[in-house]
Amino acid sequence: MRIGHINLENPVVLAPMAGVTDLPFRLIIKEQGCGLVCGEMVSAQALVYGNRNTFSMLTIDPRERPVSIQLFGSDPETMARAAAILATYPVDLIDLNLGCPVPKVVKNGEGAALLTDPARVVRIVRAVTAEVDCPVTVKMRRGFTEGEEVAPEIAVLCAEAKAAAIAVHGRYREQYYSGKADWTVIKKVKDAVAIPVIGNGDIFTADDAVRMRAETGCDGVMIGRGVQGNPWLVRETVAALSGAPVPSPPTVEERFVLIRRHLTDQIEFIGEEQGIKEMRKHLTWYLKGFPGAARARQRINEITSQKALYDLLDEYETELKQIETPWLSIK
């Protein structure tokens, strides 16, 4: 798949997820073969104002490229200025957020709220594409109010304003992540524009991705919640979409090797105390469905040292290996 002048090795894209897609996680996903990884959304206003915490989110490793960073905001001039700042970093694509459903974002007229103001969307896309040379993409939801589908018409406006690709999530803002993503809107957007369209929503298995492409004709698939605790879904999806044999699920040992690697990288990235706090949610996702996971999660939430957490993982891995075969057979 090609977005602007950027060639992707495959059509699998990691969705930008706040509090999730930081550098350590992106590197893990990239190593699973992901064609394009996307960082956490960053505030355009915070970039322009020089917020230190926001700039810390722009750490990029050459190994993860091509990489996209997502901007959110509502003022065209501020978005353009923020994009110019991003362009000074090794960022390959800039994505514009028209999909975040979180109230604190929406109340400021940002994220999914922009779906109610197509004219402002056009001004933002024009301002950003005029400011930077890298491809500018737009990620949006089906619409804001349930039953009022606007994604196809806004996608056309974005394409006319020089957006290089469109990502579409098949839910309305009011749904948040409830119910089921409706992929028919992805097909409508694909039929409406000539630029690449990336489908998003409810891809939890490689078969889901294959079915989405078959049903919608989308150029790429974007995986979000499906890789939380299951980064191996990326390699399975890459294989399935290419027609290659799908790799076997990871063994218990393979899972824990990656879990420890993630923990180590997270601590190196932001320090022991904060790294352990950040890893708690990831460990909850990694261990979901494991026998005895609830007990392990409770202990994880009480641990404050790296050594104690490694010891717990060693202990828990040993327990799981004793029941590996029957456990994996029901996964």
Query: Which pLDDT tens digit goes with each residue over 182-224?
Result: 999 999 999 999 999 999 999 999 999 999 999 999 999 999 9
**Region for 326 from its dihedrals, namely left if φ exceeds 0, alpha if ψ lies in -120 to 50, beta otherwise:** alpha
pLDDT in the model for residue 324: 59
On whether residue 10 sits in a domain, the answer given is yes
Do 200 and 303 sit in the same domain of this protein? Answer: no
Do 128 and 61 sit in the same domain of this protein? Answer: yes
On whether residue 299 sits in a domain, the answer given is yes
pLDDT band at 329 (very low <50, low <70, confident <90, very high): very low
Q: Which domain-ending residue is among 221, 242, 263?
A: 242
On whether residue 247 sits in a domain, the answer given is no
pLDDT in the model for residue 321: 84
Q: Which domain-ending residue is among 242, 273, 292?
A: 242
236-260 average pLDDT score:
96
Do 212 and 315 sit in the same domain of this protein? Answer: no
94-101 average pLDDT score:
97
143-167 average pLDDT score:
97
pLDDT in the model for residue 119: 98
Q: What CATH number corresponds to the domain at position 266?
A: 1.10.1200.80
pLDDT tens for 38-79 read: 999 999 999 999 998 999 999 999 999 999 999 999 999 999
pLDDT tens for 116-134 read: 999 999 999 999 999 999 9
Please compute, for residue 69, the number of CA atoms within 13 A of its CA located in the half-sphere on the CB side. Answer: 28
**Distance separating alpha carbons of residues 101 and 175, to the nearest angstrom:** 9
Q: What CATH number corresponds to the domain at position 59?
A: 3.20.20.70
Active site residue 100: yes
pLDDT in the model for residue 322: 83
**Distance separating alpha carbons of residues 173 and 301, to the nearest angstrom:** 32
Q: What percent of the chain has pLDDT over 70?
A: 98
Do 130 and 260 sit in the same domain of this protein? Answer: no
Do 133 and 30 sit in the same domain of this protein? Answer: yes
Do 190 and 325 sit in the same domain of this protein? Answer: no
Taking residue 172's Cβ as centre, other Cβ atoms within 10 Å add up to 24
117-145: burial string, b at 16+ Cβ within 10 Å, e else: eeeebbbbbbbbbebbebbbbbbbbbbbe
On whether residue 81 sits in a domain, the answer given is yes
In which domain, by residue range, is 261 found? 252-329
On whether residue 122 sits in a domain, the answer given is yes
β pairing state of 6-7 and 2-3: antiparallel
Does 23 score more than 50 pLDDT?
A: yes
Does 327 score more than 60 pLDDT?
A: no
In the chain, which residue ranges form alpha helices assigned H by DSSP? 23-31, 44-48, 52-55, 76-86, 103-106, 118-131, 151-160, 184-192, 206-216, 232-242, 252-270, 272-287, 293-300, 306-321, 324-329
pTM (predicted TM-score) = 0.94
Q: Which of 34, 38, 100, 134 is catalytic?
A: 100
Do 195 and 273 sit in the same domain of this protein? Answer: no
Do 264 and 221 sit in the same domain of this protein? Answer: no
Does 326 score more than 70 pLDDT?
A: no
Do 197 and 69 sit in the same domain of this protein? Answer: yes
Do 162 and 194 sit in the same domain of this protein? Answer: yes
Do 194 and 266 sit in the same domain of this protein? Answer: no
Q: How many domains does the chain have?
A: 2
Do 39 and 162 sit in the same domain of this protein? Answer: yes
Q: Which domain-ending residue is among 208, 223, 242?
A: 242
On whether residue 257 sits in a domain, the answer given is yes
Helix 252-270 and helix 306-321, axial crossing angle in degrees, nearest 10:
170
